[in-house]
Amino acid sequence: MAKKERKDSQSFNEELIEKAKKLGVSTCLTRAKEIKPCSIGVTGACCSLCYMGPCRLAGGEAQGVCGATIDTITSRNFARSVAAGAAAHSDHARDLVFTLLAVALGKIPGIKIKDEEKLRKVALDWGIKVESKTTLELAKEVAQIALDQFSLKNKELNFLSRAPRKRQDCWKKQALSPRGIDWEVAETLNRTHEGTDQEAESILNQALRTALADGWGGSMLATEISDILFGTPKAALSRINLGVIKEDEVNIVVHGHNPLVAEAILQVANENEFKKTALERGAKGINLIGICCTANEILMRHGIPSAGNFLHQELTILTGAVDLMVVDVQCIMQALAEVAKKFHTKLVTTSSKTRIPGAIHIEFNPEDCLKKAREVVELAIENFPRRLKVNIPSKETPLVTGFSHEYINFMLGGKYLASLRELNNSIIDGRLQGVVAVIGCNNPRVGLNEGHRYVVKELIRNNVVVFQTGCGALTNAQYGFLLPEAMEEAGPILKVICKSVGIPPVLHLGSCVNNSRLLTIFSQMVKDGGLGNDISTLPVAGICPEWKSEKALSIGTYLAASGVYVLFGVGSPVGASCKVVELMSKGWERKIGGKLEFEPNYQKIIQKVLEHLKEKRKALGLGPERDREVHDIERRRALLWWRNQLKGWQ
């Protein structure tokens, strides 16, 4: 299955790239070939922090005008990127907190809290008394405490208490426990200002603190509050690829990150009035489609199909069938406006934080989101008759999505025994070698998703269960890896597990901010027992094969700071400094149990990760896979039947 999808998926991308060339439109894929990366900046050796420079340090001994060394410059550049990534995730979270507050105060009558149980759980985790409080009262209290997380002064972030005790102690011992989210981001900018912190290790410590404020702060808040507001994902079937765009319907593509815009449009697009107007305009209906992480959010919660990943944003417009593309924040290419101009497509921005020249701006605020969503849908319907020639690749690939932390617990233990114990047991008895999170973006410099496809294929072949998020998940969904049928590419034991539980070998956990689900899952794996007393003792790892975003650097750093070995593909933004490379690898491993390395060779990434899982297993005394008999579901049923018969005879 996966093999067949792979070929088709590539071929129709190429078809549209050809179309772009004929129309004289450039895409990120063509621009990535034309623009070579700066050979000095690519390894972090360029400093532009002040106007005595920019200073480009080409040799190991060189210094900037201020005397800054290569170690200082690369660590400062890295820390600044982490701060930018943390700020992006956390500002996204802040917008959701304001949405929750607006709902709690009754300011958005059309939006209701979907997961009251999760609201109560978060409230209890935070020590809020839940008895005798209404849902809206609790929502207000949770929102207010969530807002405080951005500016905490003498307290640690609330969600740090989810981490295993040993991890919390490690952060305390190393003075890494983050304070308020905004505090850490602002302090990173100050420390890395020209003439401030000049010691690489100290600068990197601040990068760790800031990343932790993202993972256990901003990203976790964004995940939990989105679940409370819009529902905690459950397994669902959906589809992906450009073929989900429909020739005879009004196509609205939602792109970006904040789920509010997409949720509001989804809600109003189903109103009868709009369905009727769409019919009057000659369309059979209204088709909502996601791109990038907005796609992940609405795929996970509603099974809304996705046209693809980060690399597909320009290609969707090139089909000529997108009546309107609506964007909010992050990962939105400025080139979209130029591509849209060649077609009838309306490009709509919705956030004051992301204005694009040439786009129509319809600003969404929590209080008026449904009204603004109606304006967007109306505009899309109006635009439908203006379509010219369309060219929609016919291929679409089915997928299974919705593996929230809660759903994985339910899937493995049912409603009353929900836990990750079964996952731990499979690792303990050697059926599974471990768990690897494959995260992050697509990078057009890598070619058509070679990295994501290769690492996932190799991991499942080696009986490693894969959790995927972000655009990587959308990529491998296109290759059929998010389907139970992909078990045919898995190692024999993982295949049997997938067959008996009824899951794909690659589980889709959601968007970029949903990487915080990994922290919750890894913490629970420790608590559920048998795999040591810290995240750093688990046979787990993270791979970010095709990173491009500062957010990816923040994610990788918070996973490392939480005790995980993380490998990034593509290239190293700190490669200019051997000292910084060493500090982030062996140095962090000694200090915090996790480490971050950059390795452009995908075969080596897999070798290193498998070796790491083996070492972790050995340290736990688990050894290699046990020689045991594995049964598929039919054989298990037969055994159960015989056991019951025997009981009856005794």
DSSP 126: T
Interaction between residue 53 and ligand SF4 (CB under 6 A): yes
Residue closer to ligand MSK, measured from CB, 83 or 487: 83
In the block, residue with structure tokens 């009824």: 502
Reading the block at residue 144, the tokens are 């207010």
Residue closer to ligand MSK, measured from CB, 70 or 543: 543
Q: What is the DSSP string of 591-617?
A: HHS-EEEE---HHHHHHHHHHHHHHHH
Interaction between residue 493 and ligand SF4 (CB under 6 A): no
**In what helix (H) or strand (E) does residue 286 lie, and over which residues does it extend?**
strand 286-291
The footprint of ligand MSK on this chain (CB under 6 A) covers a number of residues equal to: 14
Helical segments of 24-69, H only: 28-34
Residue closer to ligand SF4, measured from CB, 194 or 375: 194
Q: How far is the CB of 51 from ligand SF4 (least distance, A)?
A: 7
Name which position in 25, 143, 432, 512 contacts ligand MSK (CB under 6 A). Answer: 512
Q: How far is the CB of 70 from ligand SF4 (least distance, A)?
A: 10
Residue nearest to ligand SF4 (CB): 64
Rounded CA separation 497/630 (Å): 9
Residue closer to ligand SF4, measured from CB, 66 or 360: 66
Strand partners, 326: 254, 348
Interaction between residue 12 and ligand MSK (CB under 6 A): no
Helical segments of 231-355, H only: 259-269, 272-280, 292-302, 313-318, 335-341
Name which position in 178, 470, 504, 542 contacts ligand MSK (CB under 6 A). Answer: 470
Rounded CA separation 598/44 (Å): 13
Site string for ligand MSK, 87-126 (x = CB under 6 A): ----------------------------------------
- Count of all residues that appear for the chain in the document: 650
Residue closer to ligand MSK, measured from CB, 392 or 552: 552
Interaction between residue 470 and ligand SF4 (CB under 6 A): no
In this structure, how many other beta carbons lie within 10 angstroms of the beta carbon of residue 148?
15
Name which position in 331, 506, 561, 609 contacts ligand MSK (CB under 6 A). Answer: 331
Residue closer to ligand MSK, measured from CB, 351 or 524: 351
Residue whose C-alpha is closest to residue 548's, from 468, 471, 443, 449: 443
> Residue 64 touches which of ligand MSK, ligand SF4, none (CB < 5 to 8 A by kind)?
ligand SF4
Interaction between residue 52 and ligand SF4 (CB under 6 A): yes
Site string for ligand SF4, 29-48 (x = CB under 6 A): ------------------xx
Interaction between residue 310 and ligand MSK (CB under 6 A): yes
> Which residue type does 601 have?
N
Looking only at the bridges linking them, the beta strands covering 595-598 and 565-568 are: parallel
Name which position in 9, 28, 64, 191 contacts ligand SF4 (CB under 6 A). Answer: 64
> Residue 531 touches which of ligand MSK, ligand SF4, none (CB < 5 to 8 A by kind)?
none
Site string for ligand SF4, 189-228 (x = CB under 6 A): -----x----------------------------------
Strand partners, 351: 354
Interaction between residue 440 and ligand MSK (CB under 6 A): yes
Which of positions 532-571 make contact with ligand MSK (CB under 6 A)? 549, 551-552
Rounded CA separation 608/585 (Å): 13
In this structure, how many other beta carbons lie within 10 angstroms of the beta carbon of residue 643?
10
In this structure, how many other beta carbons lie within 10 angstroms of the beta carbon of residue 42?
16
Residue whose C-alpha is closest to residue 82's, from 201, 212, 199: 212
Residue whose C-alpha is closest to residue 599's, from 560, 544, 562, 561: 544
- Interface segment toward ligand SF4; rule CB under 6 A; list 6-14, 64-72, 297-305, 402-410: 64-72
Residue closer to ligand SF4, measured from CB, 73 or 181: 73
Strand partners, 597: 567
CB 555 within 8 A of CB 549: no
CB 345 within 8 A of CB 386: no
Residue closer to ligand SF4, measured from CB, 194 or 338: 194
Interaction between residue 471 and ligand MSK (CB under 6 A): yes
Residue closer to ligand MSK, measured from CB, 440 or 491: 440
Write the CA distances from 374 to 266, 364, 380, integer angstroms.
10, 11, 10
Q: What are phi and psi of 325, to 5 degrees?
A: -115, 125
> Residue 265 touches which of ligand MSK, ligand SF4, none (CB < 5 to 8 A by kind)?
none
Interaction between residue 619 and ligand SF4 (CB under 6 A): no
Rounded CA separation 563/6 (Å): 34
Name which position in 122, 204, 292, 487 contacts ligand MSK (CB under 6 A). Answer: 292
Reading the block at residue 263, the tokens are 């949720």
Q: How far is the CB of 319 from ligand MSK (least distance, A)?
A: 20
Question: Largest Cα–Cα distance in the chain?
Answer: 89
Binding residues (CB under 6 A) for ligand MSK: these are 257, 292-293, 310, 331, 440-441, 470-471, 511-512, 549, 551-552
Binding residues (CB under 6 A) for ligand SF4: these are 47-50, 52-55, 64-66, 68, 73, 194
